[in-house]
Amino acid sequence: MNNYSDFGLGRVGIWTFVLDMQPMSRSQQAVVELEELGFKCVWVPEAIGREPFASCALLLSATKNLTLATGIASMHARSATTMAAGWKTLTEAFGERFLLGIGASHQHLAEKVHKRTYEKPYSTMVEYLDVMDKALFVASAPTVAPRRVLAALGPKMLKLSAQRGLGAHPYFVPVEHTVFAREILGPEALLAPEQAVVFDTNPQTARETARKHMLTYNRLPNYANALRRLGWKEDDIAGPDKMPSDAMVDAIVAWGSLDTIAARIKAHLDAGASHVSVQVLDPDVTALPMHQWRQLATILSSFN
């Protein structure tokens, strides 16, 4: 297992959109329990759910030491100046307990949801970060440096993530991507991949749950291109029936017993990850997976 810095996030964190599906009071209760269980970081998304800065503020207010990270806040959802203001506002209030993850998102979200133009994501991100870093902020300033990571899959964005932030938060990636990413990032940067898991030892039902999740992502160009770059074939990524192959499912989603899931987390850490954000998948996509989170908590000490 590697010794790369986890920047105070712990070796294993939680990635979840399910908090958005609960009343906020229930979500606050859930993150309080996650903190008590020993998790140091919870990642929340931005798509068409809760506004992440507001959500993180409420979740941070309910906890004492837990870090909240955005995985990711879309640069198309707000101007760079507004992104910088939200970043600094939460950092002033909560210090290093807030970690901003920024991403270029996807064409369909940028154009259909935010009515923005999606082109040249790398150069657009560079320009966006430049504006963020020069943005006026006439308010009480943070007393610690605000922290950010980039959603990064390809070599250029990975390199940028180390140059302009703590590092990278790759999503929907197999372990071989972690090897690839660490080589590009170098030894100092944070590498925090997301890993989806299913607590189900039945191959058929476990893969059904995994495929339901994967069909949201496997045909999106950003993710498909990243998998092609690693050598995956078209029929693995999305065959004639649009479904990923069993091999692709098993590479993206770890399913089975707690020991099997722990082995996948360890594989990422051994491959160069600093921190692994675990997304528990359940057939009921709206249910809080408290039981599975409690199981994960029993193995935290083995990674620290």
The torsion angles phi and psi of 281, rounded to 5 degrees, stand at: -100, 140
Residue type, 249: V
Can you tell me the distance from the alpha carbon of 157 to that of 189, in angstroms, rounded to the nearest whole number? 13
Tens digits of residue pLDDT in 96-137: 999 999 998 655 665 565 666 668 889 999 999 999 999 999
Can you tell me the distance from the alpha carbon of 217 to that of 300, in angstroms, rounded to the nearest whole number? 28
At 3, is the pLDDT very low, low, confident or very high (cuts 50, 70, 90)? confident
Can you tell me the distance from the alpha carbon of 77 to that of 109, in angstroms, rounded to the nearest whole number? 9
Can you tell me the distance from the alpha carbon of 289 to that of 36, in angstroms, rounded to the nearest whole number? 16
Indicate whether this model's pTM tops 0.75. Answer: yes
pLDDT at residue 120 in the model: 85
pLDDT at residue 304 in the model: 79
52-62 vs 80-94: helix crossing angle, rounded to 10: 0
**CB-based contacts of 47, cutoff 8 Å, min separation 6:** 17, 109, 113
Tally of CA atoms within 13 A in the half-sphere of 202 that contains its CB: 4
Tally of CA atoms within 13 A in the half-sphere of 226 that contains its CB: 27
Average pLDDT over residues 246-255: 98
Query: At which residue do the structure tokens 């996807």 appear?
Result: 106
How long is the chain? 304
Tens digits of residue pLDDT in 40-82: 999 999 988 999 999 999 999 999 999 999 999 999 999 999 9
Residue 300 has pLDDT above 90, yes or no: yes
Domains and CATH numbers, the chain: 12-303 (3.20.20.30)
